[in-house]
Structure 1
């Protein structure tokens, strides 16, 4: 994204005082032509950059490189470093450059900028076959602000039984899962996940968040999502497939597919999760060219029944058509 590159160049100028187009190109992994075009665009947009001609020349910011990071406010610094986080669509090169440049931030902003870069995780896989349209929850901004500032909040929440509660939580991160948004937080009873569209009120406190030293939002969410998926799909069908078939099966089953080791005949052991034997057999029946189901027996029985029904219904029609032609 070009906006990410332009912001990265501004920070690069602040950090190094003077840069050449070649240095910008190397830092952001773009061509020198693109770097010069971006530097020119900053000047045209009103950013006070100017070029120094001749040997030893380059590009500088008017007023020098240590002028309070172009006057960025704390909220602007946080917003900037959101583009360096795991949920960003920025290129890896831009993310890397922004993370390096965090050292150029004034000390009061640095912690919040670093927190912003790890405050949000995006998981594009929807739960099951949900087709709910994404909608921005009412209290999303307030909760993300609490995560970044590292303050506890008094949280009002309505659960799936429509029971309202209120509690003080330690916000640890925000997750976008398909169209749904979640708050991962530490509570008096352990780590919990709250659907943000069920949050009824948010009141920040002055108390700091007690964040585990080894906490990683992406890893924590993977564990949470795996646990939820297992509860939603407790049935496991075991199968073997050819190596080239795993891509097709991933497209068909998504997170419900687990790929294991290689068997002695070169096939891959897999597990496919579901919540109903008959329904899972129906899903697998259309993929018989790609896999052999080895268990459980009830799923194999349903597959055999489906095969017999298909043979009786369509095999007899085929035979009758052949007889009529003769």
Structure 2
């Protein structure tokens, strides 16, 4: 796991003062190119790690060999934990390394470092949507979470007018390619999709933070709510097995269950917020599916099919 390597790289630099990429690769049992990328990542993140040119050069942690992290500034410590924290959340070994790293920090830096390490969660399973660019306000929100400052943001829901909100930012979650801000507004837990934030300002007001582990618990509640919304309607369908990947892409992998294949066909349960959404996702495969129920989905598919025939037969409205 990259987070574990980055922490190990920093500790090697502290112990030796200066190493070459080849020496680091041998020490950590990685390739030279991987070692070089890790050193560059630390440097890019703002950690005082610099290449030394010339014969006998290599990479050096500014200030020489150290046995602790007391040489890091507060900003440098936060940069390190923002860099390795999200990946460490996925690896128990990296989590352990981060805990040791926190204990090596001066007392005055520990709170910021811990907040930075917990500022972002990574949930690798996407909703099934297309890749998106990193939203523009992620870096500012990271800073607000770490510095524990409230943010004033303008938010536009998918079916609502823009509204202004004063938010206690608890942390960020990346779900696949989508970023979410978890926090509290007027004391109530709220979730904001970062790409829908159209303006943001970090205030001087101190923000209330959840207890330790509160971000993970809040995200678990969000997932439960979303699953409930996405599963309000369901349909039982038998479909040709080769169509299953397309259905997973259309509805999301979590919305396709019980896909046991027998003689080239699979009987599955599809869930979605409404029967109409299920019908619209299935109607294009009409000749390769059998919808066993409920009647509402079957009726909606029949309605959509009838409309398609009426509008697209020769001489119909589409030719007008």
TM tier, smaller: 0.5 to 0.7
Q: How much has 1:8 moved relative to structure 2? A: 4.9
Q: Note the residue ranges of structure 1 that are not aligned, 5 or more in a row.
A: 52-58, 315-326
Q: Note the residue ranges of structure 2 that are not aligned, 5 or more in a row.
A: 44-48, 313-320
Measured at CA, do residues 284 and 195 of structure 1 come closer, stay the same or move farther in structure 2, by a change above 3 Å?
closer
Q: Alignment partner for residue 186 of structure 1, among 184, 187, 192? A: 184
Q: How much has 1:297 moved relative to structure 2? A: 0.6
Matched, 1:64 2:61: no
Aligned length: 299
Query: C-alpha offsets along residues 100-122 of structure 1, whole Å, 9 cap, x if unaligned?
Result: 66244334333322322221235
Q: Distance in 1 between matches of 2:90 and 2:29?
A: 10
Instruction: Specify the alignment match of 2:76 in structure 1.
Output: 76
Q: How much has 1:261 moved relative to structure 2? A: 7.9
Instruction: Specify the alignment match of 1:86 in structure 2.
Output: 86
SS at match of 1:186: strand
Q: How much has 1:310 moved relative to structure 2? A: 8.7
Q: Distance in 1 between matches of 2:308 and 2:139?
A: 54
Q: How much has 1:288 moved relative to structure 2? A: 5.3
Structure of higher CA gyration radius: 1
Matched, 1:46 2:52: yes
TM-score, structure 2 normalization = 0.63
Measured at CA, do residues 259 and 25 of structure 1 come closer, stay the same or move farther in structure 2, by a change above 3 Å?
farther
Q: Distance in 2 between matches of 1:125 and 1:35?
A: 26
Measured at CA, do residues 8 and 239 of structure 1 come closer, stay the same or move farther in structure 2, by a change above 3 Å?
same
Instruction: Specify the alignment match of 2:101 in structure 1.
Output: 102
SS at match of 2:86: coil
Does structure 2 conserve the Cα–Cα contact (< 8 Å) formed by 1:85 and 1:117? yes
Does structure 1 conserve the Cα–Cα contact (< 8 Å) formed by 2:231 and 2:271? no
Does structure 2 conserve the Cα–Cα contact (< 8 Å) formed by 1:241 and 1:267? yes
Q: Distance in 2 between matches of 1:134 and 1:205?
A: 27
Q: How much has 1:172 moved relative to structure 2? A: 0.9
TM-score, structure 1 normalization = 0.62
SS at match of 1:270: strand
Instruction: Specify the alignment match of 2:315 in structure 1.
Output: none
Q: How much has 1:136 moved relative to structure 2? A: 0.6
Q: Alignment partner for residue 153 of structure 1, among 145, 150, 153? A: 150
Does structure 1 conserve the Cα–Cα contact (< 8 Å) formed by 2:68 and 2:105? no
Instruction: Specify the alignment match of 2:172 in structure 1.
Output: 174
Q: Alignment partner for residue 225 of structure 2, among 224, 227, 232? A: 227
* CA RMSD after TM alignment: 5.5
Instruction: Specify the alignment match of 2:316 in structure 1.
Output: none
Instruction: Specify the alignment match of 2:12 in structure 1.
Output: 12
Q: How much has 1:193 moved relative to structure 2? A: 2.0
Does structure 2 conserve the Cα–Cα contact (< 8 Å) formed by 1:84 and 1:98? no
Query: C-alpha offsets along residues 54-113 of structure 1, whole Å, 9 cap, x if unaligned?
Result: xxxxx99874323745x432122212222223379x997996696366244334333322
